[in-house]
A and B are shown apart, each in its own frame.
Chain A
Amino acid sequence: MDSMSYRFESNSKKFTIDFEVSGIVKGYFPHTGLTAREGICVLYRRVGEQQWFNIDCNSSLTKFTVMMSHFVKKDELYEVLIYGPIISHLSKLQVEVSDDDYASIVNILPEKTMLVAGGSNSHGIGCTTTGFMFSNIIERKFDAEVYHTTFHDKNYLEKIYDYYKNSNPPVVDICILELDYFSQNESVVEEILPEVISLMKKRCKHIIGWYTIPSIKSFKKIIANNIINKFIDNDEIEVIDMSYLYDENYRHMCTFNNYYINDAGNILIYKEIEKSIRRLAKWSI
Chain B
Amino acid sequence: MEYLKSIDDPLTKINENNIIYFDLFDYPDLVFGNPFQTDKVNFCKYDENVQKEMEEEGGFVHKTMQQFKSCTCGNRIRFKTTSRRLILKVEFSEPYYHKNMLLYNSSGFDVYIIDDDGKYHNYSLIATKEGIRTFAKYIAIPPNSSVCIFLPNYCSIKRMLIGLDNGSKIYKLKYPKANELPILFYGNSITQGASASKSGNSFPNIVSRKLDNDIINLSMVTCCRGTPKTAEMIGNIKCKAIVIDYSRYAPNIEFLRNTHEKFYRKIREKHPDIKIIIMTAASFNEWKEYVAYDEVIIQTYENAIARGENTLLLNQSELFDYEDYDLVSIDIGHYTDYGMYKIADKLCELLTL
Contact = CB atoms under 8 A, between A and B. Distances in A.
Contact of B288 (A71, A251, A263): A71
Interface in A261-279: 262-264, 267-268, 270
Nearest to B1: A28
B5 interface: no
A248 B209 CA distance: 13
B198 interface: yes
Interface of A, helix, strand, loop or mixed by DSSP: mixed
Nearest to A81: B326
Counting chain B residues whose Cβ lies within 8 A of the other chain, the interface size class is: 35 or more
From B104, B128, B325, B331, residue with most partner A Cβ within 10 Å: B331
A57 interface: yes
Contact of A57 (B102, B331, B341): B331
B286 interface: yes
A275 to B, nearest CB: 14
Interface stretch (A47-55, A86-94, A158-166, A236-244): A47-55
Nearest to A42: B331
A14 to B, nearest CB: 14
Contact of A263 (B99, B287, B289, B338): B338
Given A32-B102, A57-B331, A263 B336 contact: yes
Contact of B102 (A30, A55, A131, A254): A30
B159 interface: no
B285 A252 contact: no
Contacts of A227: none
Interface in B166-224: 195, 197-198, 200-201, 206, 209
Contacts of A97: none
Interface of B: 97-104, 108, 120-122, 125, 127-129, 195, 197-198, 200-201, 206, 209, 284-289, 322-323, 325-327, 329-332, 336-338, 340-341
Interface of A: 28-35, 39, 43-44, 51-60, 70-71, 126, 128-129, 131-132, 137, 140, 248, 251-254, 256-257, 262-264, 267-268, 270, 285
